[in-house]
A = this chain, B = another copy of it.
Amino acid sequence: MNIYDIATLAGVSHTTVSRVINDKPGVKQETREKILKILDEQAYFPNSHARGLASNENKVIGIIVIDVRNIHHIHTAFHIEEAFTQYGYVSVIASCGLDDSKQEEYLKVMASRNVEGLVLIGSRFQNNNMKKSIKKYLSDKPVVIANGYIELDNVCGVVVNERKGVSNVVDFLVSKGHKNIGFMNDYVTYSAHNKQEGFLDGIRKNNLMFNEKNIKYIKTELENSEIETEKFLKENPNITAIIYSEDIMAVGAIKACVKMGLKVPEDINIIGFNNSIYSDISIPTISSIDNRNTAMGDRCSKALYSMLNGEKTEAIYHLMPKFKVKDSTN
């Protein structure tokens, strides 16, 4: 069932049918109604390929998520998807995993699918290869990076100031009398780097003694974090507070503490990052740095939509994280 079939049924030309489908003026009310009726009866909808080919727009955006397992990323993705559904777009979502070499490949896939715009979710996308790939495959399409930025005319970044978020927490802990603070970070992403810089800022600003051993890199995993935290606490018995770069790691820490007979927050303070449901599930609930998930989704959606409509946007939008005090700090 195509536009010609409809035209035949209605006894008009396909041009007229096209006008009706696209709500364009220049059709007699009577004719319009007749065609609308047939359209409905036949459950007709236009072929999106023909449409895309003829009009060169297809109302599709791409969303690439770097890590499926990160509920925080997934939620941002779905938030954006929801917003764009409102705008009449559909979203092609792909998860490229942690393998760096796949980034270019996925960008190519998106480009070849003629997406009108793209959102990349995760700080890992902030790298030089990505810059090259965007230049090569998507130089004329708007791209928004959630939690990262690349200096290109068609790219806009929305970043959470994670560095400040962590350094503020160090301030908070110091104000509560903590002097020996640990930091457990996940492996090197741009985001992890920022968090660590924030930790060091806090140490310096508050004139705390810095000990290399107070920083430890671990995998972003519940079980692993439990094991590593136990080791860490045994090696550093004087530590009274630990900041984690992800909530799930902080949950592992709570488990380690329970196992070791340490009370949280009486014996040790635990701080997470993301203010996710994980931090609420934990007993005690975990004080956590809220990275403004919803605001991030909003900002990304709005930025991309503006760009799609040819409006100017900032090169970078900044969001300030908020420290949510719960039961794992005193």
Is A218 on the interface with B (CB-CB < 8 A)?
A: no
Q: Which of A48, A75, A277 has the most CB of B within 10 A?
A: A48
**A48-B112, A90-B109, A113-B48 are known contacts. Are A258 and B283 too (CB-CB below 8 A)?**
yes
CB neighbours (8 Å) of A36 from chain B are none
**A68-B78, A93-B81, A93-B91 are known contacts. Are A53 and B49 too (CB-CB below 8 A)?**
yes
Please choose the segment from A6-14, A39-47, A116-124, A172-180 that sits at the chain B interface, where 4 or more of its residues have CB less than 8 A away: A39-47
Residue in chain B with minimal CB distance to A59: B113
Residue in chain B with minimal CB distance to A112: B45
Contact pick for A136, options B43, B58, B60, B95, CB 8 Å? B43
**A92-B91, A222-B280, A283-B254 are known contacts. Are A112 and B46 too (CB-CB below 8 A)?**
yes
Inter-chain CA distance A277–B68, complex, in Å, is 14
CB-based contact A71/B71 at 8 Å: yes
Is A82 on the interface with B (CB-CB < 8 A)?
A: yes
- CB contacts under 8 Å to B, within A272-318, are 277-278, 280-283
Query: From DSSP, what is the main secondary structure of chain A's interface residues?
Result: helix
Chain A's interface size range is 35 or more
CB-based contact B53/A82 at 8 Å: no
Shortest beta-carbon distance from A172 to chain B in Å? 24
Is A209 on the interface with B (CB-CB < 8 A)?
A: no
Inter-chain CA distance A53–B50, complex, in Å, is 6
CB-based contact A47/B43 at 8 Å: no
CB-based contact B278/A49 at 8 Å: no
Is A114 on the interface with B (CB-CB < 8 A)?
A: yes
Shortest beta-carbon distance from A131 to chain B in Å? 15
- CB contacts under 8 Å to B, within A14-59, are 43, 45-53, 58
Shortest beta-carbon distance from A261 to chain B in Å? 13
Residues of A at the B interface (CB closer than 8 Å) are: 43, 45-53, 58, 60, 68, 71, 74-75, 78, 81-82, 85, 90-95, 108-109, 111-114, 136-137, 222, 248, 251, 254-255, 258, 277-278, 280-283
22 A-B residue contacts at CB 8 Å? Answer: A43-B136, A45-B111, A45-B112, A47-B114, A49-B51, A60-B92, A81-B93, A85-B109, A90-B109, A91-B93, A91-B94, A92-B92, A92-B93, A222-B280, A222-B281, A248-B281, A254-B283, A255-B283, A258-B283, A278-B281, A281-B282, A283-B283
